[in-house]
Structure 1
Amino acid sequence: MSFKDTIKNKIWNTFAPENVLNQIESSAIDSWSHLIDLSNNESETLTENNALNFSSLYSVINVLASDIGSLPIHVYKKDKNGKREKLSISDNNVAYLLNKKVNNDGLTPFTFKSLLVSQLAIYGNSYTLMRFDSKGDVIELIPLDTGSTTVYRNEQGEKYYKTTQNNQQITLFSHEVIHLKNPLTTVEGLGISPLKALKLNVESQRAGDELNHSLLRDNGVPKGVLSVQGVLNAEAKERVKKEWKRANSAGAVVILDNSLEYKSLGQNLAELDYLEGQEYGISRIASVYRVPSHKLNILSNATFSNITQENLSYVTSTLQPIVKNIEEEFSISLFTEREIKSGFYVEFNIQGLLRSSPEVLISSLETQLRAGLITLDEARGLLNMNPYDEEWSRVPYLTKNYATMNEIETEGKEETNE
């Protein structure tokens, strides 16, 4: 006997009068399906390919991808003395790719960075194909489908990749692919997908959403049974079902006569603590990705002070490790061995995110200016303003009120001698 038939029998044995049970034919039991929908519609199972179909996961991944995608990324060259120079898009092909035009398909830098992060969040890995010119410089970055890309090693232990592109399987050497991995990896060097730890939570969220949807679809009336005195044939049950649906339509009032009794088969959302449960589930998912709750509009415990602190923690504990992962992989893959030894590397600018407000940013810049740590042009650059580009704006300033202990001691002795 199937699960569906078992449930039907249990319901019938519960509500049917005992003196007529022996007179019921199997067709009468089957007729309960006219009154109660017992179809076994299971919730969608979470996989890497359908992860963004789940609203809670979509929200969390969208926050991460958008935040990283909006960060500026620059190419620098550091000399032997530690002095670094930021290279413009006209001076360096990598700077042009990362800030202007990623590939010939019109992929923007924001979309490219967001795509990398979303693939890491879903699959635990991200693959990008590099195309080179005759001089060995990278001229195009083409994201690969992570779901159809597999890593192999040959007899010599060298890594290579197989993937599907334009409906054809191709083989790629390791120097052609930028392989980003989550910090947690397997012994084979593959990133582990966070979805493995989230399967139960995400599917529970979906089940809750489906419960809410079904209740709203039925005008807020939970599933139940109508108990009647005596036995109804299939035609009578169909008529009762039709009238019951009409009576439960919007604005209608249900009236039961003495021979009918309604009994609910489920619990309402209040009894299930639906809203609290959904909020808790989203918070659990967010915790795996280390995204603070207020970024997902869960503000039940939010205050101005703790949101400010959570934002700073989010930058240092969540975004900075992701950014560092991308920076190191890009710095190794996008430059030749000669360029790496010459000091070329890429770096995101996250300084603006470390300031809790514009006022704090201005105060920080002023302190750095007074201490001679940055020039006026550098400060204006951090504010996304054009430099003065004058000789006096390109040199650091230092207040005259500061002096070394030796200088103060020398001046004191000179005053004493005088």
Structure 2
Amino acid sequence: MSLFYAIRNFFRGPGSPAREPGLQSGQPGGYSTDSAAEVNFDTAMQISAVWAAARIISESIGSLPFHLYKSGPEGREEATEHPLHRVLTSRPNQYQSPVEFWESMALNLTVSGNAYAIIQRTGRRIVGLLPVSSAQVETELLQDGTVIHKYTNGADVKVYSSDSMWHVKLFGNGIVGMSPLSYARQSIGIAIASDNRVSKMYSNGAKPSGVLSIDKTLTPEQRAAIRKNFSQMSEGNDDRLFVLEAGMQYHQVSMTPQDIQLLDSRRFQIEDIGRFLGVPSILLNQTFGQSSLGSNVFEIMQGFYKLNLRPYLEKFEAAILRWLIDEDGYEARFDFDALLRADLKSRMEGYRIAINSGQMTPNEARQAEGRRALDGGNQLLVQGAMVPIDMAGQAPTPRGTQDDEA
């Protein structure tokens, strides 16, 4: 299939991924070279950088509170009466909690560029959303413009319409999203090959291979005996002392990790994989050559939240309104402020400004901090200490005094 895509792409020329009737693919049309190692979900997730990046994105999204709002004349309020509210905030399906549900969806979206969930209905009412592995789903565009999803489970293949399968996707051709795992195949393959090389070296006691030279001709029997006796010099974990005799010399022929800069290469792969998945390398515990000062890390994390996590959240929010809710006037929203929650001093200063300017009541500030409301705390207040400069320092005139004098 890759040869077909390569030939087609050659004649079509550059441009965005094609959107033509038939099976849709989020993978590259072809690769310039073979990867250094086999790359699939299981092998990729054994690379610490891939695991860490996927975990950070998935768990961060799963930890955010989700709200479904209904807009009304007095503003928006929680849409608790809508059946989808219970599904998305409390019981998405019979197997998962809301946190586990959003983690599953985010993991598939992060790795494959597409997240799918079977829509479970009772009549027209949605009663559940069951995530399925994106590797088991094939999306196809029919000639009439209809999109269907083929879900393979063992020998069983089921076909779902867009009304029965919820599909969230990254950027792509509009039908399917482009797969980060597939497009990062070369970088992840190098990381897998590097790990395999290091594992083999350490399972061999980190002993390099070499050549044993002797200054005379050996008989086949002598050659076999020497090979047997000295094989442990370059193989196995035995560190015993070997004695060379009769003019024998050992010459190392393989490169050490330092010779091939294996450690530097593995360090670069962390940055490269983080670049594909949009996670700063400092969040992958890669601090080499970077400042680890608190203020610098805080700004890096702020940028990660806004430039990486925010687009993921907006894709989920928009997909909910587009495919799961038929009525207008609803708003799906992750509580992103919970992720950007400031320290106590900054929060208190923000509340003070909001209360003094009449934008927030004291009870709203208390509830935001998880504290109970107090009597008289629902009144909006405004700072009234500002006076004309020529009246600064003068005692305020009691209300009603001028009217009494008149």
TM range (shorter): 0.7 to 0.9
The answer to whether 1:119 aligns with 2:105 is: no
Deviation of 1:313 after TM superposition, in Å, equals 0.4
The answer to whether 1:137 aligns with 2:98 is: no
Aligned position for 2:345: 359
SS of the equivalent of 2:184 reads helix
The answer to whether 1:220 aligns with 2:209 is: no
Q: Note closer, same or farther for the CA distance 1:295–1:115 as it changes in structure 2 (3 Å cut).
A: same
Q: 1:328 aligns with which of 318, 321, 343?
A: 318
Deviation of 1:121 after TM superposition, in Å, equals 1.9
Aligned position for 2:18: none
Are the counterparts in 2 of residues 145 and 164 from structure 1 also a CA contact under 8 Å?
no
Quote the Cα distance in structure 2 between the aligned partners of 1:362 and 1:51.
44
Deviation of 1:237 after TM superposition, in Å, equals 4.0
Quote the Cα distance in structure 1 between the aligned partners of 2:92 and 2:198.
43
Aligned position for 2:182: 196
Aligned position for 2:29: none
Q: Note closer, same or farther for the CA distance 1:309–1:253 as it changes in structure 2 (3 Å cut).
A: same
Deviation of 1:258 after TM superposition, in Å, equals 4.6
Quote the Cα distance in structure 1 between the aligned partners of 2:112 and 2:223.
51
Aligned position for 2:78: 86
Quote the Cα distance in structure 2 between the aligned partners of 1:386 and 1:167.
55
Are the counterparts in 1 of residues 64 and 338 from structure 2 also a CA contact under 8 Å?
no
Deviation of 1:103 after TM superposition, in Å, equals 0.5
Quote the Cα distance in structure 2 between the aligned partners of 1:369 and 1:247.
77
Quote the Cα distance in structure 1 between the aligned partners of 2:387 and 2:70.
33
Aligned position for 2:86: 96
Amino acid at match of 1:69: G
Are the counterparts in 1 of residues 169 and 177 from structure 2 also a CA contact under 8 Å?
yes
Are the counterparts in 2 of residues 145 and 163 from structure 1 also a CA contact under 8 Å?
no
The answer to whether 1:398 aligns with 2:382 is: yes
Where do 1:328-347 residues align within 5 Å?
328-335=318-325, 337-338=326-327, 341=328, 343-347=329-333
Q: Note closer, same or farther for the CA distance 1:64–1:86 as it changes in structure 2 (3 Å cut).
A: same
Q: Note closer, same or farther for the CA distance 1:173–1:257 as it changes in structure 2 (3 Å cut).
A: same
Q: Deviations over 1:295-326 (max 9, x none)?
A: 11112212222101101101111111111111
Deviation of 1:193 after TM superposition, in Å, equals 0.8
Q: Deviations over 1:118-172 (max 9, x none)?
A: 11122111111111122x2210111123112122233432222221247421111
Structure 1 residue ranges (4+ consecutive) displaced by more than 6 angstroms after TM superposition: none
Aligned position for 1:170: 158
The answer to whether 1:285 aligns with 2:278 is: no
Aligned position for 1:57: 50
Quote the Cα distance in structure 1 between the aligned partners of 2:223 and 2:387.
97
Aligned position for 2:256: 268
Quote the Cα distance in structure 2 between the aligned partners of 1:284 and 1:142.
33
SS of the equivalent of 2:67 reads strand
Are the counterparts in 2 of residues 225 and 265 from structure 1 also a CA contact under 8 Å?
yes
Where do 1:401-416 residues align within 5 Å?
401=385
SS of the equivalent of 1:243 reads helix
Amino acid at match of 2:377: S
Deviation of 1:275 after TM superposition, in Å, equals 2.4
Deviation of 1:85 after TM superposition, in Å, equals 0.7
Aligned position for 1:185: 172
SS of the equivalent of 1:53 reads coil
- What is the TM-score of this pair, normalised by structure 1? 0.77
Q: Note closer, same or farther for the CA distance 1:357–1:244 as it changes in structure 2 (3 Å cut).
A: farther
Structure 2 stretches lacking a partner, 5+ long: 1-34
- What is the TM-score of this pair, normalised by structure 2? 0.79
Quote the Cα distance in structure 2 between the aligned partners of 1:44 and 1:318.
28
Q: Note closer, same or farther for the CA distance 1:246–1:149 as it changes in structure 2 (3 Å cut).
A: closer
The answer to whether 1:378 aligns with 2:364 is: yes
Give the root-mean-square deviation of aligned CA atoms. Answer: 3.0
Identity among equivalent positions (%) equals 19
Q: Note closer, same or farther for the CA distance 1:139–1:391 as it changes in structure 2 (3 Å cut).
A: farther
Are the counterparts in 1 of residues 36 and 186 from structure 2 also a CA contact under 8 Å?
no
SS of the equivalent of 1:294 reads helix
Q: Note closer, same or farther for the CA distance 1:52–1:86 as it changes in structure 2 (3 Å cut).
A: same
Are the counterparts in 1 of residues 119 and 166 from structure 2 also a CA contact under 8 Å?
yes
Quote the Cα distance in structure 2 between the aligned partners of 1:332 and 1:75.
14
Are the counterparts in 2 of residues 311 and 356 from structure 1 also a CA contact under 8 Å?
no
Aligned position for 2:293: 303
Aligned position for 1:77: 70
Are the counterparts in 2 of residues 378 and 387 from structure 1 also a CA contact under 8 Å?
no
Quote the Cα distance in structure 1 between the aligned partners of 2:152 and 2:388.
65
Q: Deviations over 1:187-235 (max 9, x none)?
A: x521001123312211111122122212211222112222223344555
Question: Could you say which structure has the higher helix fraction?
Answer: 1
Q: Note closer, same or farther for the CA distance 1:193–1:260 as it changes in structure 2 (3 Å cut).
A: same
Quote the Cα distance in structure 2 between the aligned partners of 1:402 and 1:334.
51
Quote the Cα distance in structure 2 between the aligned partners of 1:167 and 1:403.
80
Are the counterparts in 1 of residues 356 and 382 from structure 2 also a CA contact under 8 Å?
yes
Amino acid at match of 1:319: L
